[in-house]
Copies of this chain bind each other. A is one copy, B any other.
């Protein structure tokens, strides 16, 4: 009833445990005959191996830990799927953690990954500043790569998207559609993505002479609920802006919901844009104009970086920004 061990197999095959180990792990320097004996014995005993014992001894577990702020945000879901897929193709497995947007939980997860001696960590930090302590507490022996957000005052590789470029494309498109004033709705500006997108937005808006007043910058959380809240507030206003630019698709979904209730037509009265191009962006009504993050590429690059193992002291950290892609849909159509 107890799972069989390597020595059970050794005994059954009439060889030493060392030989069994050799056969089972790549198996160089073993005669074909012993190999077959061992494989037969292993099969008959239903030997599966003990990953912990192996990891304890060999110092690597084949496990990559990943921490995201919210698995229910479809952007992160897609990211996780891509990472999982990518890891699988290099024979590694994923240990997924959700920090629920909490710095404390995030620190806890990070520590737990550390204790599990994972071979590397991919983290989408939940806070652009406060996540620093936890991230810096990870020993340098464990390679870490930040995905999406980059935390100030940390020293790790980073993979993300070129936010400035994305806003450039988005705002240029809006200007083309005749937009003269816009509102920006996103998470708190302590989020590095929001910060970069907001900076880019303001910059490009100014260049296109699109009006953005101080009260037109509405910062809350990356959630449908916050979008809905902001949307309701906007619906109360005496006059609406020409466009609403959101820092994430899920925020835009909230706006759609609020405007549905308020009876405000999109894109008729207001144009709307998102960010990420999650799958639901093409399902909601109206379908959402947004900027696509190349999640496959992001994931592949993050995994590639981790595979290089712990880095030397000297070489600089990688900062890889992928080009986003503008996806025009109904929510910014001309009236």
Contact = CB atoms under 8 A, between A and B. Distances in A.
Nearest to A55: B52
B52 A279 contact: no
Nearest to A62: B112
Contacts of A84: 71, 98
Contacts of A139: 1, 3
A73 to B, nearest CB: 9
A81 interface: yes
Interface stretch (A43-51, A153-161, A167-175, A301-309): A43-51
Contacts of A285: 256, 260, 284-285
How many copies make up the complex? 2
B94 A96 contact: yes
Interface in A36-78: 48-53, 55-56, 61, 71-72, 74, 77-78
Interface of A: 1-3, 48-53, 55-56, 61, 71-72, 74, 77-78, 80-81, 84, 93-98, 111-112, 114-117, 139-141, 224, 253, 256-257, 260, 279-280, 282-285
A117 B51 contact: yes
Contacts of A93: 97, 112
B141 A279 contact: no
A78 to B, nearest CB: 7
A66 to B, nearest CB: 10
A61 B279 CA distance: 36
A71 to B, nearest CB: 6
A311 B269 CA distance: 62
Contact of A96 (B53, B72, B96): B96
23 contacts: A1-B140, A48-B111, A48-B114, A50-B56, A50-B117, A51-B117, A52-B61, A52-B117, A53-B56, A71-B71, A71-B80, A71-B81, A72-B279, A93-B112, A94-B96, A94-B97, A95-B95, A224-B279, A256-B285, A257-B283, A260-B285, A283-B284, A284-B284
Given A71-B71, A71-B81, 4 more contacts: A51-B115, A95-B95, A224-B279, A260-B285
A256 B283 contact: yes
A217 to B, nearest CB: 24
A72 B61 contact: no
